[in-house]
Amino acid sequence: MPVAQTARHQPDANPPSFESVWALMQENAIQMEKFRESQVETARQMEETDRKMKETARRMDEFNKRFGEFTRRFGEVVEYMIAPNLLQKFRELGFDFTKAINNAVFDDQENDIKFEVDVMLENGDKVMLVEVKTKYSTEEVKEHIERLEKMRKYADIHGDKRSFLGAVASVVLTPNVKNYALKKGFFVVEPSGETFFITPPKNKPKEW
């Protein structure tokens, strides 16, 4: 009976040559270097993107500052254009105002009341507070309501018994904001060609 023999591992008939192993290592090294370079480029692009974002933010800040200054000055121009003609325009609506005051400031530190009025029309019985904006929003209409409430409080403290009305004047006014202002009892002043026109509230003007 033949004796069983233990199987032995036979070496590969064709082991990889030194040249092929070296070539593989070189290829791996090349791929690793490309990967490293791509990571460096990605980091550089991210840094460049961050720089551009910061530059964009800086330019936006500068633009907002300049636009804010432009809006303020434009609002001042509108005030001085509107104010001289408001008396006549409101007379056509039945209000006999005899005086127009620009940029009236009220400051009562004792009672913590401070506010400004762009244009104020006055007579012996009524006062019209006109707030001028380049573009009006609903929130700014609400702010004008608060302004009139402060005016009423200030007047009561100082013995002024006249009634106060409100008007908003704007170069740009969306239909929604205009309707909101009219519903709140304000007059709305808008440009029309070389002059402007006034839309009265839909119901009785609100008085404070």
Confidence (pLDDT) at 153: 96
- Residue environment code for 112-123, b if the CB has 16+ CB neighbours within 10 A, otherwise e: eeebebbbbbbe
Residue 184 binned pLDDT confidence (cut-offs 50, 70, 90)? very high
pTM confidence score: 0.64
Q: What is the pLDDT of residue 20?
A: 65
pLDDT at 125: 93
- Quick check: helix, strand or coil at residue 77? helix
Domains and CATH numbers, the chain: 80-199 (3.40.1350.10)
Output DSSP code: residue 10. P
Instruction: Round the average pLDDT of the chain to a whole number and report it.
Output: 81
* pLDDT of 5 over the 60 cut: no
pLDDT tens per residue, range 29-59: 677 778 777 888 888 888 888 777 777 777 7
Q: How far apart are CA 188 and CA 123, in angstroms?
A: 20
Instruction: Decide if pLDDT at 22 tops 80.
Output: no
